[in-house]
Structure 1
Amino acid sequence: MKKFTILSLSLFTLLAGAALSPALPSISQAFPRVNKLWIQALVTLPSICVIFWQVLATKVSTKFSSKKQLLVGLILYSFGGGLPVLTANFTLIIVSRIVLGVGLGIIADLSVELINSNYQDAERKRMLSYAGALNNGGTVLAVLYAGLTAKLNWHLVFYLYLLALIPLCLVFSFLKDESMTSKRKLASDKTSFEPEFLFIAGEMLITTIIYFIVPTNLGYAIKEYFKINNSLITGGLMALISILGVIAGLLFSRNRLKNKIVLIGLFTMFSCSMLFLSLENSLMLFVIGAALSGFSLGIALPLFNQEIISISNINSSNRNLSIGQAMIFLGQFISPFLITELHNLLNCNVFQIGCGLSLILLFLNIIKPVRY
């Protein structure tokens, strides 16, 4: 049950933001005076709290075991996630997303660290692949539920976050009360950053910025491009994206290709994905583009973690994985703000901006030397 308990944490990391994607148009209608950008930020606001958690994690981890941290994180996640069920005050909803984000920071930090610390070599790669698949698997259920309920009442969407009470019970029952995090922090504080890690961390940041153009704009794009205003359709398309992410994550565990080849293929797919999504007159290509974005992310999550482990020494691996997770969530938060600014500056389709960023990453991976 320990393995199942650790993997159950991965169900709730991407779900925190993506679950709201089908409900954004409904929430916009409920708050017509609130700027669209802040409505979109409901998806990504929790992610910035992950960054703040990184600042506190060093001190907290020396005083509390991983189990105690996870119990607190899951309680905050459930409470913050479910609070909007009880209120129609937008300020309180913003506060609830921040509380959810603090819990998310704790869960995301430890979900990967527990895998790295408890498993080795091929088993660790399998666990990272399963975790990546579950990241997307949780999102499948979330967006389908959100698509069904957002049409009835957007408040109902937030009941979804109460599912975090299930891993809360599992952690309480099956995870040992051991303090491994403090050892990780004390050891890694004395270790400098590997040059390759900084490049990988940058890739994780930009890749997440690119991907989150999709959940923050999908509902609006379907309505604007194809005159379809149906949260169930948006939820179904987000579910397709996530299902393909699950498949990609599982396929990665069987991958035998060199990471550089996979990275070139990854950013080629991302470029094609954003290109197809930018075509406003073809629903079929739009759906294909959305599907490719999910498949690409399903490869990216375990691949980046595997790359970090491969270039890190024993003292820095957990610290680097933790920072990598922070880059993912920082990218989520930055995405709507940066893309909106670029959209206003360049006066082009948001998906075209994503295509351009993908092509830059593709070019950098083609020319970079292989040193690990």
Structure 2
Amino acid sequence: MRNKNRFLSKVAVLSVSLVLTSAGSINGALPLIQSGLKISNTEMELLSTAPALSVVVFVLLSAFFAEKIGIKRTISIGLLLVGVAGGAPLILKNYPIILASRFLLGAGFGLINSLAVSIINMLFDDEVETKATMQGFRGAAENVGNAVLTILAGLLLAANWHMSFAIYLIAFPILAVFWIFVPDVSMTDGTDHKSGEAAEQIHIPAMIWVLAGFALLLVMMMTGLSVRFSSMAVAIKGPNFNASNILAAMPIIGIITGSFFGLLNKWTGRGCLYIGIGLLILANLLVGFSGDNFTMLLVGYVISGIPGSLVFPFIYNSLNLYVSKKSMAFATSLILIGCNLGGFLSPFGMNLAQTLSGSSALGAPFPVFTVLLLGIALVFYLQDRSISKKAAVSSSPVNK
């Protein structure tokens, strides 16, 4: 990346990710919104989940917009939508219109989401270590944004529920910094890993679909751990136990782990993938067999906050090994769609795992997930061995 404001450019690129996980940051205001607007529980919960529906659609459309008007303009439009639609309930008092604004907020997230990853891969394409570090920091930025905006929304709630939505106004200064300091990049800028006519067309190899499926399963399991933890903690500690403080502290684990991803990736390379899977296996085992042991449950849940900050930056950092720059945004979109679908399908996955376990215990699904993760790890290991053998054969003197 050649830019006289290199440091500010990095900060501006990372700042975009601060808002990406903020859809649920206003959840603390939902009970007051329900009483204020006289809406049902379902209508109330829809205000939190509605953005996820439009995220899936606009994650796909983001690659199209990026090709037509450029990555920088597409991200900027997304930030504008986040600021305007996210902050609209500050003055709105009509439920259907507020709900529509939440769908538009999700559209803004969707336009930004995959491109926030792609722009790092493109700007730092020739700086392998910097690119890996930036992907790690990007994941950490999501966790920082989630934690800070949730706290701010809670503080603003003291005024009234409308004020909680003021957190989305942060998108405007982020937009200004991003527009000033981040250079524009083309979908085909720089030296491409693919050459010839193949680089002119969007081509998604089978490995990207495998990674998208892996992302779906990973998010499904991590969401299941997060959702089930509160119920398991209450079952052990009693109905008056409040797990909210523990839940609020979890993003800090992601921040710390994400900050060290670049260094760990440098030391271990593909080992990041196996470390992440291994830790998630350990978390599932501890939670699944915790029974009435709260300490075991808590340790397992805390460990479950680490794998995502290792595996997802690794996946995003590896995409340029499989696709051309022309296909980068669409490939990233597929991974993110896998993530969003994983969150949506988590209750169904938990129910299926519960059925397969043959037990009604709250922790029953997690040993089933452990078996699935062992199978996934084996598939990746066999693939790595196959690639290593092919590389050894192609570099042998006989083939030269």
Residues 113-122 or 309-318, more deviating: 309-318
Letter in structure 2 aligned against 1:65: G
Aligned partner (choices 341, 354, 358) of residue 330 of structure 1: 341
Letter in structure 1 aligned against 2:248: A
SS in 2 for 1:16: coil
Distance change >3 Å, CA 144–CA 110, structure 1 → 2: same
- Whether the aligned pair in 2 keeps the contact of 1:188 and 1:319 (CA below 8 Å) is no
For 1:285 and 1:299, the matched residues in 2 are separated by: 23
For 2:74 and 2:373, the matched residues in 1 are separated by: 36
Aligned partner (choices 136, 140, 143) of residue 133 of structure 1: 140
Distance change >3 Å, CA 349–CA 267, structure 1 → 2: farther
- The alignment of Structure 1 onto Structure 2 pairs a total of residues equal to 362
Distance change >3 Å, CA 95–CA 32, structure 1 → 2: closer
Structure 1 residues 1-372: aligned runs within 5 Å: 1-17=8-24, 19-20=25-26, 33-35=40-42, 42-86=47-91, 90-120=95-125, 121-146=128-153, 155-176=162-183, 178=184, 180-181=186-187, 190-213=201-224, 226-228=238-240, 234=244, 236-255=245-264, 256-259=267-270, 261-277=271-287, 279=290, 281-336=292-347, 338-339=348-349, 342=352, 348=360, 352-353=364-365, 356-368=368-380, 369=382, 370=384, 371=386
- Whether the aligned pair in 1 keeps the contact of 2:199 and 2:324 (CA below 8 Å) is no
1:342 CA displacement: 4.1
Q: Greater relative contact order: 1 or 2 (C-alpha under 8 angstroms, separation 6 or more)?
A: 1
Residues 155-164 or 24-33, more deviating: 24-33
Q: Deviations over 1:253-288 (max 9, x none)?
A: 1112242x4333323322343455565744433432
Residues 338-347 or 52-61, more deviating: 338-347
Residues 238-247 or 287-296, more deviating: 287-296
Q: What runs of 5+ residues in structure 1 fail to find an aligned partner? A: none
Letter in structure 1 aligned against 2:339: I
For 2:34 and 2:230, the matched residues in 1 are separated by: 11
SS in 2 for 1:254: helix
- Whether the aligned pair in 1 keeps the contact of 2:82 and 2:108 (CA below 8 Å) is yes
- Structural RMSD (CA): 3.6
1:145 CA displacement: 3.6
SS in 2 for 1:212: helix
For 1:345 and 1:91, the matched residues in 2 are separated by: 38
SS in 1 for 2:84: helix
Q: What runs of 5+ residues in structure 2 fail to find an aligned partner? A: 1-7, 388-400
Distance change >3 Å, CA 20–CA 349, structure 1 → 2: farther
1:153 CA displacement: 5.6
Residues 311-320 or 292-301, more deviating: 311-320
Letter in structure 2 aligned against 1:144: I
- Whether the aligned pair in 1 keeps the contact of 2:60 and 2:330 (CA below 8 Å) is no
Percentage of identical aligned residues: 23
Q: Deviations over 1:182-219 (max 9, x none)?
A: 879x9767243322222111111111222233555666
Question: Could you state the TM-score of these two structures normalised by the residue count of structure 1?
Answer: 0.80
Higher-Rg structure is 2
Question: Could you state the TM-score of these two structures normalised by the residue count of structure 2?
Answer: 0.76
For 2:33 and 2:218, the matched residues in 1 are separated by: 27
Distance change >3 Å, CA 122–CA 262, structure 1 → 2: closer
